[in-house]
């Protein structure tokens, strides 16, 4: 059985906040992981959960349609300062934007703005590369942060995102079933 994160003492070391974009605030983000990691997700039970369609029957798919969501780690800068956070590209347009960024992503600067409440975040690539904070954060670190965010097992060292998704299937199903019952 895979060790779950619940109660693990190392959870705090892997936790990263998800970047929030306030209405009308322009935020500059320097991307720090080499690539984007994309998943099908559901909004269910008041939170985003990873789809479990690889199980054959996904409670999230039965409740509502899945959307593609991409994640990376970035240095988020605004008037309040800067911090390292998970950057979420939610919806097909946002994922398409992120997939069109240069490979590798490290050092790419983007601008994010939410024009009104309940509006999607708009993204724009800035025409320059970051001069600072462009040190690379390994993709494995991104998977660790996503494990904490989604409350699923940590990835195994040397494993791929696909291996991680297979190892987390049982936990993803449990979370989706619980959320579907609350709906």
Q: Which two tokens stand for residue 170?
A: 């049982």
CA dist 23 and 130 (Å) reads 25
CA dist 64 and 56 (Å) reads 16
Per-residue pLDDT of the chain (183 residues; tens, 9 = 90+): 334 444 555 677 888 999 988 888 888 999 999 888 998 998 888 888 899 887 778 888 888 888 899 999 999 987 778 889 999 998 878 889 988 998 888 888 899 998 888 888 899 998 767 665 557 888 888 999 999 999 888 888 877 888 888 888 888 898 888 888 887
pTM of the model: 0.84
Domain boundaries, the chain: 11-182
CA dist 17 and 82 (Å) reads 12
- Cβ atoms of residues 180 and 44 within 8 Å: yes
| DSSP-assigned letter for residue 19 | P
Question: Residue with structure tokens 């939170």?
Answer: 47
Q: Which two tokens stand for residue 178?
A: 């619980």
CA dist 17 and 22 (Å) reads 15
């Amino acid at each position: 059985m895979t060790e779950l994160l619940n109660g693990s003492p190392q959870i705090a070391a892997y936790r990263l906040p998800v970047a929030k974009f306030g209405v009308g605030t322009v935020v500059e983000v320097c991307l720090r992981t080499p690539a984007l990691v994309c998943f099908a997700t559901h909004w269910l039970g008041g939170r985003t959960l990873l789809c479990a369609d690889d199980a054959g029957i996904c409670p999230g798919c039965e409740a509502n349609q899945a959307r593609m969501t991409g994640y990376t780690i970035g240095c988020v800068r605004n008037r309040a300062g800067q911090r390292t956070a998970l950057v979420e590209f939610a919806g097909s347009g946002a994922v398409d934007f992120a997939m069109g960024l240069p490979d590798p992503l490290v050092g790419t600067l983007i601008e994010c703005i939410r024009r009104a409440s309940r509006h999607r975040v708009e993204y724009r690539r800035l025409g320059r590369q970051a001069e600072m904070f462009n040190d690379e954060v390994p993709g494995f670190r991104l998977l660790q942060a996503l494990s904490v965010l989604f409350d699923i097992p940590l990835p195994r060292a040397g494993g791929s995102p696909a291996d991680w998704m297979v190892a987390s299937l049982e936990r993803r199903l449990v979370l989706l079933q619980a959320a579907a019952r609350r709906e």
